Structures are given as C-alpha cells and as structure tokens.
Amino acid sequence: MGKADLHIHTAFSDGMAEARQLLEYVEEQTELDVIAVTDHDDVRGALAAREIWAQGRFRFDFVTGVEVTAIEGHLLALFVEEPVPTLCPVRRVLEAVHRQDGLCVIPHPLSPFTRSLDRPTIERIASRGQDGAYFDAIEAVHRSPLSATWRRTGGALNRRLKLAAVANSDSHHLKTIGSATTEFSGSSSEELKRAIVSRTSRAVTNSCPTLAEIGYGQVVQQAWRGLTATPRIVGWGPTAQSFVKRIFHSQ
C-alpha cells in the first residue's frame, strides 16, 4: 500500500520550511510515496516546489495543489495546474477545479481552529452535487498538534456522505509531515488519484509531535503567518469582505 500526505504548506504561504528543505525532509525522514503541496490561495507555491522536485532525484511522486479560501470555508484542490478562484462561493471553486480534471477534498471539516466548511454547507453540496459542483473526498483524519478533540470528525461525517476517505497532516512544520497518511493501492500519483475516484483510499493516523517538540516559538510564529496568509495573497480588504459574505451565506 502506498502512503500519501496531501495537505502540506511551504514558506510560500504559511509553512515554516522552504520548498527544497521540505522535499529533502520527505526524502530522508519519511516513507511517503506521494505528497501534495497545497499553499493558500495560489497554485504558484506548488508549481515552484514541483520545479525543484523535477530537477532532483526524489523517490516520491508529487501532486500540485492549493488550499482555496471559499466564502464558506477552505477547500483542497488537487491535481491542478491553473489558478483557482478564491474568495468566492464554494460551488464556483468546485466547478473550476473539476474543469481542470482536478479533485476537491474537504479539509479539516467542522474545525473550530480554522476557516472550515460547516455541516449544512457540506451536506447541501453532497446531496445536490452535479455539474462539477461536488466533493471527491473528505479528510476523515486531519492531524495537527491542536486537533486532538476533533481530528476524527470527518470520519463520523463521512459515514453518511460516503466520499473517498483521506488523511492528511496539514503540515506547517517539517516534524508533522506524515502524521496522518492516505493509504492506497500503488505508489504513484496517478494510482492515488484512481484510488480517490474509486473511493478505495484509506485514512490512517500516525504519531504527531507535541507543541513542545515543535517549539513554542515556531508555533507562535507560524500562527501569525497563518492569520496573514490569505490577506498577503488577495489583500486585506477582500479578505475582510469575505467574512461578511460568509455571515450572510450562513443565514
């Protein structure tokens, strides 16, 4: 069974490691077969990381992605090459990703710690999914040092949704990469994609370093980078307006 971590951030957005450093860490310190770089709201972070990956001799495969901020919450877009619209309704994001033959994953569902899709939004789209506006997978396990109380929420929710189950680290620190993995038959990115489409992937929880092991200074620094990641890409004004639009969407 192959192992993948499909939710990793670099210093292009709010991760703490540059792309080359991240790739070398995956090569030397993990057993991952596939990774995806999913920086916030801009696919250029993943494209730049892929250039470095392509110039090296890494044993693992690479997927380009982006963590998109929709009005209703975050969405992972995987296997995309072109820009994906951000700060717009999630339906529009879903349609844009599927036009690229990409996959859409619900990240950190219902999380109180980050901008996440809520249950009504997830269930509404899952029940009506058509014309490209549908989810392919859900993070049945989402692993981070802050997620102990809710990291399996997606698995419980997916018992009704019956989407493909994946598990990701949402890593912003090198030490947390691979703390949750998606298992699939094969070892390549294409085999991984087939497993998600056929809903045969499996979510696995692994050990995760504590905040103390990561370093409290690193955690605080990353938290600030996280708060400013989307505004740095799209601007403070549009980001603030999106929060107002989210309030009206939830009513």
Q: Any idea where the domains of the chain sit in the sequence?
A: 2-249
Q: Round to whole Å and give the CA distance between 85 and 123.
A: 22
pLDDT of residue 131: 80
pLDDT of residue 186: 97
Whether the per-residue pLDDT at 251 is higher than 60: the answer is: no
Which spans in the chain are helix H?
Answer: 19-29, 44-55, 90-99, 119-128, 153-161, 189-197, 211-214, 216-234, 236-249
Whether the per-residue pLDDT at 73 is higher than 70: the answer is: yes
pLDDT of residue 93: 97
Percent of the chain with pLDDT over 70: 94
For the chain, the average pLDDT equals 91
pTM: predicted TM-score of the whole model, two decimal places = 0.93
pLDDT of residue 90: 95
pLDDT of residue 149: 45
Strands 103-106 and 164-168: unpaired
Q: What are the tens digits of pLDDT across the range 191-215?
A: 999 999 999 999 998 888 888 898 9
Q: What would the two tokens of residue 58 be?
A: 């890494």
Averaged pLDDT, 57-62: 96
Q: What would the two tokens of residue 171 be?
A: 């890593």
pLDDT of residue 129: 67
Averaged pLDDT, 15-40: 97
Q: Round to whole Å and give the CA distance between 190 and 71.
A: 30
Q: What are the tens digits of pLDDT across the range 175-188?
A: 999 999 999 999 99
Q: What are the tens digits of pLDDT across the range 128-174?
A: 766 889 999 999 988 776 654 445 677 788 888 899 999 999 999 99
Q: Round to whole Å and give the CA distance between 243 and 224.
A: 18
The fold of the 2-249 domain, in CATH, is TIM Barrel (3.20.20)
pLDDT of residue 40: 96
